[in-house]
Amino acid sequence: MLRVAVVGSGPSGCYTAQSLVQRDPEVRVDVLDRLPCPYGLVRYGVAPDHEKIKSLQGSLRTVLEHERVRFLGGVRVGGPGGLPARRLRELYHAVVYCVGAATDRRLGIPGEDLAGSWSATEFVSWYSAHPDAADAGFLRGVRTAVVIGVGNVAVDVTRMLVRGAAELRPTDIPQAALDTLAASGLTEVQMVGRRGPAQARFTTKELRELGGLPDTDVIVDKAELALDPADPGALPTGPRRNVEVLRDWAARPPAVAAARRIRLRFFLRPVELLADGGRVGAVRFERTAPDGTGGMTGTGRYEDVPAQLVLRSVGYRGVPLEGLPFDPASGTVPHQEGRVLRDGVPCPGEYVAGWIKRGPTGVIGTNRPCAKETVTSLLADVPALGRAVLPEEPVAALRAAGVEPVPWDGWLAIERAETELGARLGRGVVKLSDWDALLGAARVLS
Ligand code: NAP
């Protein structure tokens, strides 16, 4: 028998487990997660109104319910109180780290930490009911917001800021976030890119969705689009379509009666967050110009955009995991085809997949081939790793270390509690958003 631990139950962890059981009839896989709930960013990153993407949970569920896969929630690996990575190696023939990119990139500009300035990740965690997220009063007194960055996360948070409560009510958004968004007095969001529309990272489908939001006008300035003289016809399909959509919007007359506006801005690089009464009051941008090679240069001209809320959506970043090598430049674990490299030397028995392996890029499906490559390396190493019976049973060892894992039944009990909460509120499933509620449901009801 081959016993493998997969650390992280998001898409990369689930696809790794799936590939393992499909390709080795004798493997047994434990999928560990520090949270009592599975699915990683599918549960805690995909926006609640993206129900189609969220439905991917159904196929990840099939993996975690496979007879040779076991979900062990509430198990932290590394860090204070966590199971050390070297201990995990003693309990399994091989360990695959699929821990994602747990933090956000920094802008590194003055005022970044002013009250009212948040990373998009913090905002996403809040509306996704992540138990570590604080209800930070994101929208208190906010009339205008700035979202820095033009990737898909920026589109998500922009859309969520203006989406009406009526549309979010049927989703699983936690009640407190729904109430806050319903009471919001926000009228305008500016989503701002430091380069041009052709270099924006959002995908066209996500961009187009902004144009279909009820009672919301999308405004694009023709003059800003014209700053890039490059011929859109020469662009690859994705950027070309983005530019076409933006040009269409720029050509439309503004909707007079819309309650909310989204302004898509380009060629503005943030240089400082300006305070007003101890909180953020505006963002100072420098106008940029294309440098002809896809980059940009500063022009020395500045524009202050008023905002009582700033969401910095400039990408995720991996965090070092105690006991594993880490490349601070890329925020990833150095690897060769998924094998962890220590001082440049592959370490059979230790692997990575997903964002901690290749950085925070790509869509959910990108994790499938990524996981497959790692599993190919792992299975090629099996002759060296051996399949000898291991001396300890992992769950018994975890309990001896004072960790009581949340089993799959515990997660099913959380799901039932979320259905019951929704029924009490006259809604569908509503997510539980704090540790006590999650662990209470998992342990009491299971
Ligand atoms: P991203 O796609 O890497 O976009 C980051 C954005 O931040 C870019 O516009 C980037 O501009 C900008 N940026 C970076 N540093 C900056 C700085 N110092 N000042 C100003 N702007 C800066 O990251 P993301 O939006 O977090 O998305 C992460 C991944 O998740 C992506 O692969 C995304 O497609 C995926 N995702 C997909 C969906 C979906 O499919 N619906 C939803 C959410 C996320 P530059 O290009 O100029 O660096």
Do residues 310 and 323 both lie within one domain?
Answer: no
Tokens of 188: 């305008």
Contact 337, 379 (CB under 8 A): no
Pocket mutation for ligand 1, best pick of 52, 54, 106, 153 (most atoms within 8 Å of C-beta): 153
432 assigned to some structural domain: no
CA of 385 to the centre of ligand 1 (A): 39
Q: What is the pLDDT of residue 227?
A: 87
Nearest CA to ligand 1 atom 15: 314
Do residues 234 and 323 both lie within one domain?
Answer: no
230 Rama sector, left if φ>0, alpha if ψ -120 to 50, beta otherwise:
beta
CA of 264 to the centre of ligand 1 (A): 15
Residue 326: which CATH number?
3.40.50.720
Tokens of 373: 């490559």
Which is the closest atom of ligand 1 to the Cα of 316? Answer: 26
Domain termination residue (choose one: 314, 330, 363):
314
Q: What is the pLDDT of residue 292?
A: 86
Tally the domains of the chain. Answer: 2
Do residues 89 and 20 both lie within one domain?
Answer: yes
Do residues 151 and 266 both lie within one domain?
Answer: yes
Question: CA–CA distance from 247 to each of 152, 207, 244, 290, 367 (Å)?
Answer: 19, 12, 5, 18, 33
Nearest CA to ligand 1 atom 2: 151
Q: What is the pLDDT of residue 230?
A: 80
415 assigned to some structural domain: no
Pocket mutation for ligand 1, best pick of 266, 287, 314 (most atoms within 8 Å of C-beta): 314
The string of DSSP codes covering 98-143 is -----EE-----TTTTSBTEEEHHHHHHHHTT-TT-----TTTT-S
Contact 119, 147 (CB under 8 A): no
What is the residue range of 39's domain?
Answer: 2-102+318-406
Diameter of the chain by CA atoms? Answer: 72
Do residues 8 and 122 both lie within one domain?
Answer: no
pLDDT string in tens for the chain (446-residue length): 999 999 999 999 999 999 999 999 999 999 999 999 999 999 999 999 999 999 999 999 999 999 999 999 999 999 888 999 999 999 999 999 999 998 999 999 999 999 999 999 999 999 999 999 988 899 999 999 999 999 999 999 999 999 989 999 999 999 999 999 999 999 999 999 999 999 999 999 999 999 999 999 999 999 999 888 888 888 999 999 999 999 999 999 877 789 999 999 999 999 999 999 999 999 999 999 999 888 999 999 999 999 999 999 999 999 999 999 999 999 999 999 999 999 999 999 999 999 999 999 999 999 999 999 999 999 999 999 999 999 999 999 999 999 999 999 999 999 999 999 999 999 999 999 999 999 999 986 44
Give dist(CA 352, CA 247) in Å, integer.
42
Give dist(CA 246, CA 238) in Å, integer.
13
Contact 377, 338 (CB under 8 A): yes
Residue 314: exposure state from Cβ atoms within 10 A (0-12, 13-18, ≥19): buried
Do residues 152 and 75 both lie within one domain?
Answer: no
Q: What is the pLDDT of residue 444?
A: 62
Give dist(CA 144, CA 130) in Å, integer.
25
Do residues 146 and 191 both lie within one domain?
Answer: yes
417 assigned to some structural domain: no
CA of 431 to the centre of ligand 1 (A): 26
pTM > 0.85: yes
Do residues 227 and 116 both lie within one domain?
Answer: yes
Q: Which residues line ligand 1 (CB under 6 A)?
A: 107, 148-154, 156, 193-195, 199, 201, 206, 269-270, 313-316, 360-363
Do residues 222 and 244 both lie within one domain?
Answer: yes
Residue 267: which CATH number?
3.50.50.60
